[in-house]
């Protein structure tokens, strides 16, 4: 199984790379900036892998990376970026950068991965967020990018199933890794009060869900919520 993971240098991307490694024939890991974080990621991987430094919002860079990957069974569009501000304080650059990474990046990676997906049952798994469904004060760019990602998922689900490619998304709540660890304490307390299970998610739950999706053959174009009851 050849697995491509974007945003693999830290957070959930790192966790997924290490978790899926033992079950993969080869991992293809894409990251953007932090070379040291990427080196730390691969230290915990036992499977064969290659690493690509790439700005996934730039089509020439994405095309160059995917030219070097001979076959793909699973693409996990995990890369995510936030740059929060209230609407009146948000510059157009902040709006565009978040949309470009979170939405355009997933579009471009999917576009160039599909020609390499020749087996029936190949999977594209998009990592969305609960804020696509709830909205978020001070993060209109992030919420909009993830809502767009869910629309992309549904449309590609319809389009690509004819090729035997299954497309689904996972809308994550708040987890003890990645962006969840960078929240201010006051925000964490407010979030925890709204989660029915009263705790942040364990990334193992995400890994188990992805492993299930990789093996399934009947779920198409769905957005699966994994949020501990933050939104039901």
Judge whether 49 counts as a catalytic residue.
no
Rounded-to-integer distance, Cα 153 and Cα 156, Å: 5
**DSSP for 170-227, written as a single string:** EEE--BSSGGGGGS-HHHHHHHHHH-TTSSPBPHHHHHHHHHHHHH-SS--S-EEEES
| Candidate list 112, 142, 218, 230, residue with the active-site label | 142
- List the structure tokens of 167: 């497309």
Rounded-to-integer distance, Cα 3 and Cα 71, Å: 9
The three-class DSSP label of residue 49 is strand
Q: What is the 3-state secondary structure (H, E, C) of 179-191?
A: HHHHCCHHHHHHH
Cα-Cα-Cα-Cα dihedral sign, residues 44, 45, 50, 55: negative
The three-class DSSP label of residue 9 is coil
- List the structure tokens of 196: 């029915």
Residue pointed to by tokens 């957070």: 11
Helix (H) or strand (E) holding 20: helix 11-20
Name the residues annotated as catalytic. Answer: 142
């Amino acid at each position: 199984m050849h697995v491509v993971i974007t945003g693999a240098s830290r957070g959930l991307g790192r966790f997924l790379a290490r978790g899926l490694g033992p079950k993969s024939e080869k991992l293809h890991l894409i990251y953007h900036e932090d070379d040291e974080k990427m080196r730390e990621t691969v230290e915990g991987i036992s499977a064969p892998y290659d690493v690509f430094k790439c700005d996934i919002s730039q089509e020439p860079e994405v095309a160059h990376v995917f030219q070097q990957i001979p076959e793909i069974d699973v693409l996990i569009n995990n890369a995510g970026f936030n740059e929060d501000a209230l609407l009146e304080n948000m510059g157009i650059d902040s709006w565009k950068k978040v949309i470009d990474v979170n939405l355009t990046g997933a579009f471009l990676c999917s576009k160039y991965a599909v020609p390499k997906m020749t087996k029936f049952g190949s999977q594209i798994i998009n990592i969305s967020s609960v804020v696509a469904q709830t909205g978020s004060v001070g993060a209109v760019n992030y919420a909009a990018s993830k809502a767009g990602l869910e629309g992309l998922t549904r449309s590609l689900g319809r389009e690509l199933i004819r090729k035997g490619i299954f497309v689904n998304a996972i809308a994550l709540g708040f987890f003890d890794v990645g962006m969840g660890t960078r929240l201010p304490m006051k925000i964490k307390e407010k979030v925890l009060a709204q989660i029915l299970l009263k705790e942040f998610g364990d990334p193992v739950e995400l890994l188990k869900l992805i492993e299930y999706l990789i093996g399934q053959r009947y779920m198409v174009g769905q957005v699966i919520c994994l949020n501990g009851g933050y939104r039901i």
